[in-house]
Amino acid sequence: MLGFANNLGAPRRRGLTACSVETCYRGGKPARKGRQPCREITGKPSKLSEQRNSPNCRSKLQRHALYMSEDEVFTRKQHTFTDSAIHGRLYPNHIQTNPIQKALLAVGSGVAALQNPYRHDMVAVLGETTGHLALLKLRHRMNNNPEGYTVLTERPRIRLSTLDLSRMSKLPDGSLGREYLRFLEDNEVTPDTRADVKFVDEEELAYVMQRYREVHDLVHTILGMPTNMLGEVAVKWFEAAHTGLPMCIMGAILGPLRLSLRRKQKLVSSLGPWALRSGSRARCMLSVFYERRWEQNLEELRKELDIEPPPLILPGKNKKAA
């Protein structure tokens, strides 16, 4: 059912190429200052240079919804996500799909994820094809928070290439950066395993989904949950209450079915209620600029986010199972 997914290509029109410009117009409305620009129509550079400020050219560009006046110009900060609606590609790796294709992808990926919860590629497709409304709400929360708005503006990425591991390893025990690095080491995971977004058909929402994925291990760190099955289910309960993403809700409902009786008892009696309570009242986790908080004490950050300490301490992957 999912065989066609890799063959879904974005249509390209002749005579159009990507360029690095500092102007953008999205959906007929000016983009906010500080947001990522989209790609612009480019013809012969010399001809465009001569004509772009002429009344006729400006009128044509406005009709294509890709032009901004000088007072609406903003500067690109990173080349992570860029609009190119005229190509059918809103950002790198974007695959344009219609509602029928999205429905097929959602059903197929959902079945595959049920059969094997460790098929992270299928879980990713399910999240992208079913999460539009939840992503809208998450973006609204980020936009209404000064720090979250800065995250949307600057578009930071959490990758090994963006982390100063040497510096983080020298931070004091109990700091966010040191405990995050310890989590990665203890559970043998890396932020580079997070899949790139492909099927979200709005550029900014695609970044929100990407940010959700890349802070997932930080959520584990803050909650004090390892990557074993019980820890993952507890995090899914938290994320279901916190994000409203259908993928997380499905994981929260079906995940306990794979737990042993003893672990189900731990989930129902303590971890589950704690995760739901914390997830429903916590400050938006996507609005935290973690990259500027590595030195912050983890307990202080928990209090700031209104998250209770975990009721149980679960061992990591390399430690004796609970």
Tens digit of pLDDT for each residue in 17-41?
333 333 333 444 444 445 444 443 3
pLDDT of residue 14: 39
Residue 83 DSSP one-character state: B
Residue 138 has pLDDT above 70, yes or no: yes
Q: Is residue 195 part of a domain?
A: yes
Higher pLDDT, 136 or 5: 136
pLDDT of residue 311: 92
Task: Tell me: do 150 and 244 sit in the same domain.
Answer: yes
pTM for the model: 0.72
Domain count, the chain: 2
Q: 175 - beta bridge partners?
A: 297
State how far Cα 255 lies from the chain centre.
Answer: 22
Over residues 55-73, the mean pLDDT reads 38
* Residues annotated in a binding site: 216-217, 220, 232
Task: Tell me: do 144 and 85 sit in the same domain.
Answer: no
Please tell me the least confidently modeled range out of 33-37, 124-128, 229-233.
33-37
Task: Tell me: do 224 and 138 sit in the same domain.
Answer: yes
Residue 69 has pLDDT above 80, yes or no: no
Average pLDDT in the chain: 78
pLDDT of residue 81: 52
Cα separation, 322 vs 316, whole angstroms = 9
Cα separation, 128 vs 200, whole angstroms = 6
Q: Which amino acid is at 90?
A: L
Residue 11 has pLDDT above 70, yes or no: no
pLDDT of residue 292: 97
Q: Which amino acid is at 279?
A: G
Q: Is residue 41 part of a domain?
A: yes
* Residues annotated in a binding site for Zn(2+): 216-217, 220, 232
Span 271-303, pLDDT tens digits: 999 999 999 999 999 999 999 999 999 999 999
Domain holding 62, by residue range, is 10-95
Residue 95 has pLDDT above 80, yes or no: yes
Among the three residues 36, 67, 95, which one is the final residue of a domain in this structure?
A: 95
Task: Tell me: do 212 and 292 sit in the same domain.
Answer: yes
pLDDT of residue 318: 53
State how far Cα 88 lies from the chain centre.
Answer: 21
Task: Tell me: do 232 and 296 sit in the same domain.
Answer: yes
Structure tokens at 290: 């973690």
pLDDT of residue 56: 52
Task: Tell me: do 73 and 209 sit in the same domain.
Answer: no
Task: Tell me: do 26 and 168 sit in the same domain.
Answer: no
Q: Which amino acid is at 29?
A: K
CA distances from 300 to 171, 175, 176, 238, 284 (A): 16, 9, 10, 19, 16
Q: Which amino acid is at 192?
A: D
Cα separation, 102 vs 68, whole angstroms = 32
Task: Tell me: do 212 and 299 sit in the same domain.
Answer: yes
